[in-house]
Structure 1
Amino acid sequence: MFDKRNIRIYYLRTLEKIRSFLLSRNSREFLIFLFFVFVSFCFWLLQILNDDYETEFSIPLRMKNVPNNVVLTSELPSELKIGVKDRGTVLTNYMLGQTFYPVTIDFKDYESKGTQVRIPVSTLLKKITGQLNQSTRLLTVRPDTLEFIYTKGEAKKVPVKLQGKIDLDRQYYISDVIYSPDSVMVYAPQEILDTITTAYTESVVLENLSDTTHRRISLAKVKGARFIPDFNDVTLMLDVYAEKSVEVPVRGVNFPPDKVLRTFPSKVQVTFQVGLSHFKAITAEDFFIGVTYEELLNNKGEKCPVKLKSVPRYVNHVRLNPQEVDYLIEQQIIFND
């Protein structure tokens, strides 16, 4: 560890070595060499900058006087890209010293042209060239046409829907998809608004999911429309498949009052897959196997095919055993009082 006295001695010795080096003959010759190198570089740079070059700059773009009741559903770009040609000294001044002022568009000038407005950039050239040196040539302006779309209050609420590819681990399935919010407001001119029935998310790819997943996903853009909010919090509820079987009675549908359907067997085994979270809740009463009187009248075989008329939510891969049953239509005697 150095104390203050040792630090001072070390500092003085270092200064003495630097001074001795600078006063030496070799040092003077080196410094003179560096000076001429610097002067040569300056002449070279001036010669280079005197040539003509092409480059590109950005000019901010703004819109003013937008009424409070107007919603821009397709906004202007934030800047214009201009390609110019001039001497290197002038271009260097643009890069280092000159600041371009925003090119401003007055909404009132285009309000009478409808809800979809196209502005040729040629109408803005005076505002652009006014900021350039007289020797500067304007070569290109990008984009060459400006467009904005707006609406004066036309809006409606539409549901949100997820789009994309979702890959799950084996034995897992999506038991529910929760959107927050489940619907959003869409603003657009009426002719565009009439074509929008759903707000779709941007396409997502989710692989090897094995647990409930939360994602904030932006909504897919629609030209001329604006969604508020423009994102959605999507929750994918995952569950594990389990297999379950219940016995469901076969019932007659639309039979005359004096006729009754008898089937053999009277019940059909229904086997299905369901998530563990709904395993106990799903019972035989949630299914309905019905055979209509008209179907039996048109039946050519000895047995009657059975079909599920009602299947509960969350149930998949349903199988019936047997798929056909023997049947008998009994005539009943109805006594009138």
Structure 2
Amino acid sequence: MFAKKNIRRYIPIVYRRIRNFLLSDKSREFLIFLFFVFVSFCFWLLQTMNDEYRAEFKIPLRLKGIPEDVVMTSEIPGQLRVKVEDRGTVLLNYMLGRTFFPVVFNFDDYKDKGGCVHIPTAEVMKRISSQLNNTTRIVSVHPDTIDFIYSQGEAKQVPVAINGTVLAGMQYYVNNMYLSPDSVTVYAPKNLLETLSVAYTAPFTIENITDTVRRHLPLQKIRGVKFVPASADLTVCTDMYSEKTIEIPVVGLNFPPGKVLRTFPSKVRVTFQVGLKNFKLVSENDFFIGVSYEELVKNKSDKIELSVKKSPDFVNHIRIVPAAVDYLIEQQPEDLKADSIDD
């Protein structure tokens, strides 16, 4: 209540002070000064707005009348960026009071030009100019060329292929990769459709993965081509490496009758890395270490280097210990040779 009384008491005082200031000689001089400043500003603005300026406007672009059996494999841009030049007053009118209508093209007007249609720049400029003042000059239009590609029923199925890099983390390896869907429908003009045999994903990189990873990947775009669907889901499965060691006998190959290979030792240890998933599935029967007679004949040393002739695809970093063995080509006795021939 006290605050309201104080406010009411001060209002007449403030009002009198403002009135006295406005009616004083200094106030009249200040108001006259402001008036001339305002008039000067108006003259300056009118003169400035009559100068030539450039401005850029966005005008929507549309293609209508597309038949249901036509698939657009290359769309036209959604809008045109038009740079114009005119007096400032005209440009200000465009900015504040003018709404640009979409530049519309009818599909029927171009359907006889084949699957690849090019709309002349002059025709685009003509349709834009119809919405502008006669004094307005078009400086540039972007994009300066408008074209589109369509397919009328031409389509086929193609497989989807991975176009990227997948790297597992330390002590892991990529166990499996698959895409869903593994094939897509591709629409394109006939001459272009004949050259397509696969749809690639957009390039990507996945590193240091230690668990199952899923990625949604768009398909790599090709001008004039439409993929349905336009993306695929990638699933990457990993497994952890484990080390395993087994003993494998050294076998002689292509030895003539009556001669056999003796190695010292007769068996070697093979150590390799294998995923936990396949750890128990690997046995000595999956490996083969052989030395041919021809290798031994050409060898000038008492030792022969060993190599694995057969191994599963899912093992890595194979090591043989010892990597070289002493050997002896033993001549069988005649009775053993005859027995082996009779057998």
- TM-score grouping bracket, smaller chain normalisation: 0.7 to 0.9
Kindly report which structure 2 residues correspond to 1:253-264, keeping only aligned pairs within 5 A, or say none: 264=263
Aligned residue in 1 for 2:202? 202
* Change beyond 3 A, Cα 1:32–1:309: farther
Please give the per-residue CA displacement for 1:154-176, whole angstroms capped at 9, x wherever unaligned: 23232231414x55543333333
Task: Report the equivalent of 1:105.
Answer: 105
8 Å CA contact retained: 1:216, 1:231? yes
Runs of 5+ consecutive residues of structure 2 not aligned to the other structure: none
Bigger Rg, structure 1 or 2: 2
1:128 aligns to what SS in structure 2? helix
Q: CA RMSD in A?
A: 3.9
Cα distance change of structure 1 residues 197 and 282 upon mapping to structure 2, 3 Å threshold: farther
CA distance in 2, matches of 1:207, 1:17: 78
Counterpart in 2 of 1:311? Answer: 312
How big is each residue's C-alpha offset from its partner over 1:276-316, in whole Å with a ceiling of 9 and x where there is no partner?
Answer: x4253441267242769xx6578744769543334233x22
CA–CA distance in structure 2, aligned partners of residues 80 and 72 of structure 1: 19
Q: What CA distance in whole angstroms lies between the structure 2 residues aligned with 1:17 and 1:160?
A: 86
Alignment of 1:293-304 (within 5 A): 300-301=297-298
Residues 1:241 and 2:237 aligned together: no
Give the partner amino acid of 1:150. Y
Q: Which moved more, 1:176-185 or 1:50-59?
A: 176-185
Letter in 2 for 1:73: T
What amino acid is the match of 1:157?
V
Q: What are the ranges of 5 or more consecutive residues in structure 1 without an aligned counterpart?
A: none
Shift in Å at residue 13 of structure 1? 6.6
Distance across 1 between alignment mates of 2:57 and 2:296: 80
Q: Which amino acid aligns with 2:133?
A: N
SS in 2 for 1:236: strand
TM-fit CA distance, 1:223: 1.6
The count of corresponding residues between Structure 1 and Structure 2 is 325
* 1:155 aligned partner, one-letter code: K
* Counterpart-to-counterpart distance in 2, 1:250 and 1:193: 55
Q: Distance in 2 between matches of 1:22 and 1:131?
A: 53
Structure 1 residues 140-149 or 83-92, which shifts more? Answer: 140-149
Q: Given that residues 155 and 188 in structure 1 are in contact (C-alpha distance below 8 angstroms), is that contact kept between their aligned partners in structure 2?
A: no
Contact 1:304/1:324 (<8 A) preserved: yes
Structure 1 residues 288 and 329 mapped into 2: Cα distance closer, same or farther (>3 Å)? Answer: farther
CA shift digits 1:29-86 (9 cap, x unpaired)? 6666555544433332222111111222222111112121221111111112222111
Secondary structure of 1:280's counterpart equals helix
**2:155 partner amino acid:** E
Match of 1:157 in 2: 158
Q: Say whether residues 1:125 and 2:121 are aligned partners.
A: no
Contact 1:161 1:198 in 2 (8 A): no
Cα distance in structure 2, aligned partners of 1:287 and 1:199: 37
Distance 2:254 2:108 in 1: 68
**Kept in 2: contact 1:248–1:287 (CA 8 A):** no
Q: CA deviation at 1:11?
A: 6.4
The aligned amino acid for 2:286 is F
- Change beyond 3 A, Cα 1:201–1:47: same
- CA deviation map 1:158-217 (0-9, x unaligned): 2231414x5554333333334333333322223333333333332334455444433323
Corresponding residue for residue 272 of structure 2: 272
Q: Would you say the 8 A contact 2:73–2:187 is kept in 1?
A: yes
Distance 1:259 1:64 in 2: 89
Aligned to 1:284: 283
Please give the residue correspondences for 1:1-337 in structure 2 after superposition, counting only pairs within 5 Å. 5=1, 8=4, 12=8, 19=15, 22-25=18-21, 36-152=36-152, 153-164=154-165, 166=166, 168-248=168-248, 264=263, 269-275=269-275, 277-284=276-283, 287-289=286-288, 300-301=297-298, 306-313=307-314, 315-321=315-321, 332-333=340-341
- The one-letter code of the counterpart of 2:47 is Q
Cα distance in 1 between the residues matched to 2:9 and 2:208: 69
Indicate if the aligned counterparts of 1:247 and 1:284 stay in contact, CA closer than 8 A.
no
SS in 1 for 2:127: helix
Identical-pair percentage: 42
> Comparing 235-244 with 320-329, which one deviates more in the overlay?
320-329
Separation in 2 of the partners of 1:232 and 1:10? 75
Q: Partners in 2 of 1:286 and 1:73 — Cα distance?
A: 55
